[in-house]
Structure 1
Amino acid sequence: MTQLREAVVLITGATGGFGQELTRQLLRAGSRLILTDLDKVVLHQRAEAIWSEVATGEVLACLTADLATREGCESLYHQVKALGIPVDVLINNAGIAVVGHVNEVPLEPWEQLMQVNLMAPMRLSALFVTDMIARQKGHIVNISSIAGWAAPPGLTHYAASKFGLRGFSEGLFDELKAYNIKVTAVYPFFSRTPILQSKRYGTFAQRNPDLPENWITDPAKVMRETIQGIIRDQLHVFPDSVAKNIHFFKRYAPGFLDWISNEFSRRLKSGTGR
């Protein structure tokens, strides 16, 4: 089992919905956190606000880095190394989305998505795992998505990044288990985070409504299940009931899942949402 009390945990995408919940709940668990995101001011403000309401744990540092670039990932690694504090748990949480048909999303946004969602976790894992191997200790957590198991229309680019992150996590698990390093991949359904307001392009910007409110999960509950999965050293974590059901049908009844997906799209377009 992974012990989180006094563990040094690096969280990317710390100002987002999942990032804030991870910060809050890991501080309550007594972890020592290194937080990173793009905007230094927002990062410090949110870290201070959360830390002021939690009596345990510690925020060791707030670091800024652009994880959409190789240089940004390397900069983050060197900033962490300069602290002189080994990282016990790396949580690759940063992620973005774009919505639109594959031929309607401009090149730059979806390439940036692949850099943040897939390349950054791969780069950071490769950098930090060297130190973990030397210590024979560590845990890498990749926040994927249930879209990493079933790709919904309009999220082809996003799903591709999350399918890739799932495959990377599985390969990493097999490579690192001999060194006592754990790997966890997490597959939530759509949750109440800023990613729901991701930019839409083309047809999806014109005709597709938002998800019904009662379908959207609570990020606090999702991250609570995620942390339990980390503690239990689970490779695959499905932190909400919708994700669990989609995974089940994808494995054992894919034809039925296709029917559900078609019905899902039809009801969204009709505006019934139920």
Structure 2
Amino acid sequence: MIRSFILVAASLVLHLAAPTRLWVGNSLPLSDTQHSALLWCLKWALTLWATTDINSILNRWAENKWLWKTDASGWVWGQEIAVVTGGSRGIGACVVKQLVSYGIHCAVLDVIPLSETFTDDERRLVRYYKCDITSPTAIHSAAEAIRSDLGSPSILINNAGIGNGSTILDIPFENVQRLFQINILSQFSTVKEFLPDMLAKKKGHIMSVASLASFVSLAGAVDYSCTKSGLLSFHEGLGQELKYRHKCPQIKTTIVHPNWTKSAITAHPAVEAGLKRIGAKLLEAEDVAGAMVKQIIAAKSGQLILGPGISPKIRALPLWLQELVRDSQAYVVNGSGTTG
């Protein structure tokens, strides 16, 4: 923003002090008409630049729940405890490994044991709890065990998620039900378990992993798209409740929207062939995890768009343009099956 004001001021000085004919270098004189055109372009370009900067600042202010300053001094990473659902493999495991590198203790909730990629040193800061997160009772039991073993967590990363690859008519209802239980309903249970302690301490960070499917629904993955757009509503509503029901904007909330990432979902035959057809470049799980952990360490709220920056703006486009975007993705998910 400061650089925009400097440039605007410079343009005003130029406008007031410039001679009738402006020389560029030693050999390119500008006529009065060209000079006026240059000033007009400069004025509007700088105005647009300043407006963009101001908009970015307002966006960051809003994301931070109208708090001007982000104070990370209250976080002592060697004393913090993070809960990561689906943290045994994939993006979740990468997140755990990177959190541990800061000395953060991690409690992993998963139905499968920790992968062999964890070193002995990392495992000293990681505690695995076998937990089926489709069950609120199982989540409560795991939360009680975490509080007893480690203490009250200050970080909750709702990472667990699965995908199905079937049309609305073909998918068994039990598959839809399980996907909703894992991808979104479990987050109601985890937040119910861990938010009260965060409120008592006025410190915490709750992160949800969504997808660019939050903004574009995919044929053959309607249930998945529904849960990811639902997570965006969950994130927005949670932020509102923290500000106006609990009077605790200090608790950070983040939602992550990765583009297609190397994972069990993208490796599934129902998806892999479609991604190759459109020439999609997959993100690495480590890079997605890196952005997530960076947000945690910065103690900032917000939305992380790990893909085309225009993605959240798609819903603001004319309907015919929205439909063209959806059409371009119509055969990415083309098959049947589930990753969970």
TM interval, short-chain normalised: 0.7 to 0.9
Alpha-carbon deviations, 1:58-111, whole Å to 9, x = none?
Answer: 524211110011222222212212225110100011111101111110011110
| 2:91 aligned with 1:18 | yes
Query: In 2, Cα distance between the equivalents of 1:15 and 1:190?
Result: 20
Aligned residue pairs, count: 254
Alpha-carbon deviations, 1:138-179, whole Å to 9, x = none?
Answer: 111111111122211111101111111111111111111432
Q: What residue in structure 2 maps to residue 5 of structure 1?
A: 77
The answer as to whether partners of 2:218 and 2:329 remain within 8 angstroms in 1 is no
- Work out which of the residue numbers 44, 50, 61 in structure 1 matches 2:118: 50
Unmatched 5+ stretches in structure 2? 1-69, 335-340
Q: CA deviation at 1:196?
A: 2.1
Mark the CA change 1:123 to 1:268 in structure 2 (over 3 Å): closer, same or farther.
closer
Give the number of the structure whose alpha-carbon radius of gyration is greater.
Answer: 2
Query: In 2, Cα distance between the equivalents of 1:16 and 1:32?
Result: 17
Mark the CA change 1:214 to 1:147 in structure 2 (over 3 Å): closer, same or farther.
closer
Letter in 1 for 2:304: V
- Work out which of the residue numbers 193, 199, 223 in structure 1 matches 2:263: 193
Could you tell me the TM-score, scaled by structure 1's length?
0.83
Query: In 2, Cα distance between the equivalents of 1:194 and 1:106?
Result: 20
Query: In 1, Cα distance between the equivalents of 2:318 and 2:294?
Result: 28
Q: What residue in structure 2 maps to residue 236 of structure 1?
A: 303
Unmatched 5+ stretches in structure 1? 270-274
Letter in 1 for 2:312: H
Letter in 2 for 1:11: V
Q: What residue in structure 2 maps to residue 99 of structure 1?
A: 165
Mapping for residues 167-246 of structure 1, pairs under 5 Å: 167-177=233-243, 178-179=247-248, 180-198=250-268, 209-212=273-276, 214-230=280-296, 231-238=298-305, 240-242=306-308, 244-246=309-311
Give SS of 1:265's match. Answer: coil
Q: What residue in structure 2 maps to residue 272 of structure 1?
A: none
Give SS of 1:209's match. Answer: helix
The answer as to whether partners of 1:10 and 1:89 remain within 8 angstroms in 2 is yes
Q: What residue in structure 2 maps to residue 119 of structure 1?
A: 185
Mark the CA change 1:167 to 1:4 in structure 2 (over 3 Å): closer, same or farther.
farther
- Work out which of the residue numbers 16, 36, 42 in structure 1 matches 2:109: 36
Q: CA deviation at 1:250?
A: 3.2
Letter in 1 for 2:166: G
Query: In 2, Cα distance between the equivalents of 1:158 and 1:172?
Result: 21
Give SS of 2:292's match. Answer: helix
| 2:156 aligned with 1:86 | no
The answer as to whether partners of 1:24 and 1:51 remain within 8 angstroms in 2 is no
Letter in 1 for 2:192: A
Query: In 1, Cα distance between the equivalents of 2:219 and 2:327?
Result: 9
More deviation in 127-136 or 4-13?
Answer: 4-13
Could you tell me the TM-score, scaled by structure 2's length?
0.68
For the aligned residue pairs, the C-alpha RMSD in angstroms reads 2.6
Letter in 1 for 2:99: L
Give SS of 1:127's match. Answer: helix
The answer as to whether partners of 1:98 and 1:198 remain within 8 angstroms in 2 is no
Alpha-carbon deviations, 1:198-253, whole Å to 9, x = none?
Answer: 585xxx9xxx9331264221111122122223325232111x233x3322333345
